[in-house]
Structure 1
Amino acid sequence: MDTATVTHLVTADDTARALGSGDLDVLATPRVLAWCEEATCAALDLDAAQTSVGTRVDLEHLAASPVGARVTATATVVHTDGRLVRFQVAAHDAGGTLVATGEVRRVVVDRERFLARIAPVGD
């Protein structure tokens, strides 16, 4: 099973107040999700012509983390079906408290073919 972890220190830029997802100076849900997705990308071993795109997220943000907290997000591949990859994700603080848990789904795509299908904005 492929697993990867990323660790970040919560800064003022990571708070709900800074990201507009609330008005408290605690780790914002969108940021903890981004860290979990970062771990999913790190868990994939893709060649240079490939990348992955997120397609579905189910995340429970269970505990508040103040500025200065160290949070580690871990992603583990739990299922693959062709290009679809499902990950179990979890984030813990340095004290071992479960901050967030859930599932992220990503689809592996050919980088150039994917970008070629997107029309530039304003055309």
Structure 2
Amino acid sequence: MELRAGLRAETSLVVGEEDTAVHVGSGDVPVLGTPRLVALAEAATVAAVAGRLADGWTSVGTRVEVRHLAASPVGVRVTVEAVLEEVDGKRLVFGVRAVDERGAVGDGRIERVVVDRERFLARLQ
């Protein structure tokens, strides 16, 4: 594995009707829903370590702390950057920051753990 602090990636989306709080069930306003913001942030953490894990290994989310600071309406592009801040054995800690064209939308921390994919899935049986 080639994991080290400083790895980073961005993900973005243009907010569509399917991304709104109304559609995802997290509210009744037509703006980016917090669950979609969290999913976008998690996707950025996955992208930050993509191609850097040994064959057969993956990472799974274990903790999410996100502040949703501002509303993003339909049609606005939201971009999340994830930066790997800490590698503690198999535990990975990312800082995340979300922005749209008007400024900060959210920030927080996401923790993931590196696992053997087959063993992880075998425990589900």
TM-score bracket, normalised by the shorter chain, equals over 0.9
Q: Quick one: distance in 2 between partners of 1:48 and 1:30?
A: 30
Helix, strand or coil: the match of 2:11? Answer: strand
RMSD: 0.8
SS in 2 for 1:35: helix
36, 42, 62: which one pairs with 2:41?
36
Q: Shift in Å at residue 46 of structure 1?
A: 1.6
> Take 1:111 and 1:22, find their aligned partners in 2: how far apart are those partners?
35
Q: How many pairs are equivalent? A: 118
Q: What is the Cα deviation at residue 101 of structure 1?
A: 0.2
Q: Which residue of 2 aligns with 1:51?
A: 58
Give 2:117's aligned amino acid: R
Q: Which amino acid aligns with 1:77?
A: L
Normalised by the length of structure 1, the TM-score is 0.93
Structure 2: unaligned runs, 5 residues or longer: 1-5
Q: TM-score, normalised by structure 2?
A: 0.92
Tell whether 2:101 aligns with 1:90: no
Map residues 5-16 of structure 1 onto 2, 5 A cutoff. 5-16=10-21
Aligned position for 1:112: 118
Task: Tell me what 1:19 maps to.
Answer: 24
**In the aligned structure 2, how far is the partner of 1:16 from the partner of 1:74?**
22
Match of 2:72 among 61, 65, 70: 65
SS of residue paired to 2:39: helix
Q: Identity percentage over the alignment?
A: 51
CA–CA distance in 1 between the matches of 2:24 and 2:106? 18
Distance 1:74 1:38 in 2: 10
Show structure 1 runs of 5+ residues with no match: none
